[in-house]
Amino acid sequence: MLRFLGKRLLQVIPILILVSIFIFLFVHMIPGDPARLVAGEDATIEDVELVRKELGLDKPITEQYVTYMKNLFRGDFGTSLKTNRSVSYEIGERFMPTFWLTVWSMLWAVAAGLLIGVISATKRNKWQDYLGMFGAVSGLSLPSFWLGLMLIQLFAVTLGWLPSGGMDSWKSYILPAFTLGTGVAAVVARFTRSSLMDVLKEDYIRTGRSKGLNERRITWGHGLRNAMIPVVTMTGLQFGFLLGGSVVIESVFSWPGLGKLLIDSVAYRDYPVIQGEMLIFALEFILINLVVDLLYGILNPQIRYE
Amino acid sequence: MKKTVGWLSALAMVLVLMLAGCSDSGKEGSTAEKGGDGKKAVKEGKDLTIAVADNFTTLDPHDTNDTLSNSAEKTMMEGLLGFDEKMNVVPLLAEEYEASDDATEFTFKLREGVKFHDGTPFNAEAVKVNFDRLADPDSGLKRHSLFALIQSTEVLSDYEVKFTLSEPFGAMINTFAHPAALIHSPKALEEYGKDVGKHPVGTGPFKFVEWKPSEGLKIEKNPDYWKKGYPKVDAITFKPVSENGSRIAMLQTGEADFIYPVPTEQVEGVNGKNGVEVDSEPSIVVRYMAMNTMKEPYNDVKVRQALNYAINKDAFLKVVMNGQGEKLDSVIAPDVQFYSQQELYEFDLEKAKELLKEAGVKEGLKAKLWGGNSSSTVKAMEFLQQQLAAVGITVEVVPMESGTLSDKIWSVQNPEDAELELYYGGWSPSTGDADWGIRPLVGGKEAFPPNSYNVSYYDNEEVNKLISAGLQTADENARADAYEKAQKLIWDDAPWVFLSADNTLAGKKNYLKGVYLLPDGSLSVSEAEIE
């Protein structure tokens, strides 16, 4: 187990190096001149060249890459071309808000999704199932942009219970977390339902029933536990995606998150910030996958780590 | 089991309520609209919140090229000169100024008894430190080029300073009034160096408190402000809110007292309700469609004029700008200095067709129209496409992401190779002077990409001469004369289809006075007052 962990963590390093090379090449391949974009529309050519020199973009690309990698190994992601602040600062500023929003969204979404999924699976083709799946399909198909604005209209403008945006108190989390989690809850509900329905058809469930176990124990204990593997996989992926930040949610609720930072950086061709963010995202996904793999073992002790 | 069913029905109830709530709120909104009101909203305290569309990039005016950051800087720092609400130059930290006739020497008499927020006295030495920084090409500042002409800054006495330029530049007074020329405390410059953008210290009505790039900027009243009785509010918080709908919601809930911009299509919906007022004022932003005058058939002035006649500008204003603007009747907007009104190309399809025929353009001319990819830009381009179809020109609209577009425009080294045919764009001359509204855009070869923004590749000897004549002197009358002639020539040559001059749009609670947008789109809060 520990060996497995150690091995997996060691694998992270070559993956990140590969990722960093690809990202560096990709961002430099997108058309668009950062010096021109940073200097602004009404800049003269002198301004642009000045900015280019200031940002070190006049150096050959190989030299830029070597500098970038050298700094990276020292844990220095570089400086934002647009704002002149360090990339670690820019990302650090927005990482925790994104992280907590993701956590709260995932918490309620997984809880609600599991509940709806289990009820739908056990009450198959009854009204509870229809209602649950109606909710899930609605949750999936409501554009979060629209949902967010509607919630603001209702809870902030009309009722005045919650703030319309920003990140000032715990109340600020409610609307964005609800909006962000809706889609996830819907997906979790649908996965749980179909997976649990398959499991409930298995022989050992029948055995359990014939042993006289009560239905609740069969569903929640034996059934759900075995049905969780695909759900956990999918939840892990969703968690990773949400950690990347959501431009829509961040724009609608003025949330200081990573999604908007990435979009803005791409618009300005702010290479160091794009590179830094992509590396963080890659790292997040690797770690989440690792956690998911470990969870498999807890859910099904037959799974062995080698 | 009962429990779960109970939970479920509760959930269902919530869902139903929520949906009902949504449709309800819609209805309520509309009744409130009918109720109209004109009610006075009430404000407690003297702390303002202003919601803006983006994050500030820096608080160092010398290194700023976006109007939004300039707006924030202007709350804390002041220049020798500034602009009033009509873009007229007014004295701020200077009391008087004088220019030599050949526009190479500018002398300022400074206001006495002013102190920076850190207690440093404001004097000629402080001015010199700032302009030496701006004029230094090695400083790497984004606004260096505006002040590159300054050869020397001399301290004549404690409160008198003289600038000498390396060549005549008649538009220099407006450049001194530009937000890039705001003055830092010399002590802060020394202490923070390049980091001064995070620690702004000026002489302005407000003092810096805190700035978190993603969350906003807090400033507070400067109790020792030199202008007695100001500021009249205690503190201001700027919050970046990028989504239009959310910004408006903040104004409606009172979470914000002032927001900008308000999208043109929302003006009708919010004005006069919930104690909200929308201010719509003329700006100096011009909208145009440039034609590449080196390319056939746009090298023929008849074709360019024909296109001007072919576009219905009233419809453009109505459809694209939702009525928030004016028809553009020169190459610069009315609030730009030395603007001179021209006779409109009135919408006339017959005349357009006739001119095209005279120029030998056959039916079925194909053209590519480039522009940005924001929804409003695409809407404008589609409108132009539709209008030009009526005179038999088939336009392909090519919206591009900003980086790609700028590459396409500025990677051209040889004007003959330019692919650009038609380009829809906008321009705001941030110095408010005719020079900056004309020279970068239609100022001959010097302004061809990649040097500047002359995407029409317009090069008229006579216009070029007039442009430089306008810079050779500081004499207002001589300058006005030169620009008047230049504008007439440009108008007749029609390197653009002249479309509109935008309005600035800001929303505010009706208890708020003295906060307004200048025609250059920057914000003024120094006279903010709550009624």
Q: What is the pLDDT of residues B175-192, one digit of tens each?
A: 999 999 999 999 999 999
Domain presence at residue B368: yes
Tokens of B432: 């408010």
A49 touches chain B (CB under 8 A): no
**Residue B26: per-residue pLDDT:** 36
A–B CB contacts, 8 A cutoff, strictly below: 171
ipTM over cut 0.90: no
Please tell me which residue of chain B has the smallest CA distance to A32.
B403
In a domain, B308, yes or no: yes
Examine the domain organization and report whether B366 and B487 are in the same domain: yes
Q: Which residues of B touch A117 (CB under 8 A)?
A: none
Give residue B506's pLDDT.
Answer: 95
Same domain, yes or no: B464 and B322: yes
Mean pLDDT, range B211-237, rounded to an integer:
92
Whether residue B251 sits in one domain with residue B322: no
With CA atoms as reference, report the closest residue to B527 among B146, B155, B115, B225: B225
Say yes or no: B419 and B518 in one domain.
no
> pLDDT grade, residue B28 (50/70/90)?
very low
CATH code assigned at B223 = 3.40.190.10
Q: How far is B135 from chain A (nearest CA, A)?
A: 12
Q: Is residue B402 part of a domain?
A: yes
Which chain B residue's Cα is nearest to A249? B243
> For residue B93, is it within any domain?
no
Query: What are the angstrom distances between the C-alpha of B313 and each of A118, A156, B321?
Result: 61, 40, 11
Contact by Cβ (8 Å): B86, B80? no
Residues of A in contact with B141 (CB under 8 A): 50
Residues B57, A164: C-beta atoms closer than 8 Å: no
Q: Where are the beta strands (DSSP E) in B250-383?
A: 258-259, 276-291, 325-327, 365-371
Task: State the total domains in chain B.
Answer: 2
Domain-embedded: residue B299: yes
Write the pLDDT tens digit of every residue in B460-495.
999 999 999 999 998 999 999 999 999 999 999 999
Compute the nearest-CA separation of A221 from chain B (Å): 15
B222 and B298 co-located in one domain: no
Q: Nearest by CB to A256, which of B18, B214, B253?
A: B214
Q: Which residue of A has its CA nearest to B238?
A: A166
A29 vs B: CB within 8 A: no
**Do β-strands B47-52 and B258-259 pair in parallel, antiparallel, or remain unpaired?**
parallel
Q: What is the mean pLDDT of residues B352-367?
A: 91
Q: Is pLDDT above 70 for B11?
A: no
**Interface subset of A 152-181, CB within 8 angstroms of B:** 152-154, 156-158, 160, 163-167
Contact between A42 and B453 using a beta-carbon 8 Å cutoff: yes
Could you tell me if residue B226 is inside a domain? Answer: yes
pLDDT of residue B37: 54
Residues B496 and B376 in one domain: yes
What amino acid is encoded at A68 in this protein? Y
Q: Is the model's pLDDT at B33 over the cut of 70?
A: no
Same domain, B221 and B325: no
Give the DSSP H or E segment for B355.
Answer: helix B349-358
B244 and B305 in a single domain? The answer is no
Per-residue pLDDT, B24: 38
Q: What is the CATH number of the domain that holds B322?
A: 3.10.105.10
pLDDT at B4 over 90: no
Please report residues of A whose CB lies closer than 8 A to that of B18.
154
What value does the mean pLDDT of chain A take?
A: 87
Confidence of residue A222 (pLDDT cuts 50, 70, 90): confident
| pLDDT value for B350 | 95
Instruction: Give B278 or A33, the one with higher predicted confidence.
Output: B278
pLDDT of A107 above 70: yes
- Check whether B233 has a pLDDT greater than 70: yes
To the nearest whole Å, the CA of B527 is away from the closest chain A CA by 27
The pLDDT of residue B22 is 41
User: Cβ of A142 under 8 Å from any chain B Cβ?
Assistant: no
Q: Is residue B190 included in any domain, yes or no?
A: no
Is B354 found in the same domain as B220? no
pLDDT at B270 over 70: yes
A253 touches B at CB < 8 Å? yes
CB of A119 within 8 Å of any CB in chain B?
A: yes
Cα distance between residue B396 and residue A271, in whole Å:
32
Average of pLDDT values for A269-295?
90
> Are B326 and B275 in contact, with CB atoms under 8 Å apart?
no
User: Quick check: A113 contacting B, CB < 8 Å?
Assistant: no
Distance from CA of A67 to the nearest CA of B (A): 21
Q: Are the beta carbons of B65 and A33 separated by less than 8 Å?
A: no
Q: What is the pTM of this model?
A: 0.85
> Mean per-residue pLDDT for B36-52?
81
B319 in any annotated domain: yes
pLDDT tens, position by position, A159-197: 889 988 888 888 999 999 999 999 999 999 999 998 988
The pairing of beta strand B89-91 with beta strand B105-110: unpaired
Identify whether residues B518 and B497 lie together within a single domain. no
Mean pLDDT value of segment B269-290: 93
- pLDDT above 60 for B119: yes
The CA distance from B336 to the nearest CA of chain A, in Å, is 16
Task: Using pLDDT thresholds of 50, 70 and 90, give the confidence band for residue B34.
Answer: very low
* Interchain CB contact of A261 with B (< 8 Å): yes
Q: Which residue has the higher pLDDT, A39 or B163?
A: B163
Structural domain range at position B387: 282-503
Q: Are residues B407 and B473 in the same domain?
A: yes
Q: Residue A72: what pLDDT?
A: 85
- With contacts defined as CB-CB under 8 Å, which chain B residues touch A267? 401-403
Phi, psi of B495 (to 5 degrees): -70, -15
What was the pLDDT predicted at A306?
A: 62
Residue contact A251–B240, C-beta within 8 A = no
Instruction: Say yes or no: B323 and B375 in one domain.
Output: yes
Using only C-alpha atoms, chain A has a radius of gyration, in whole angstroms, of 24
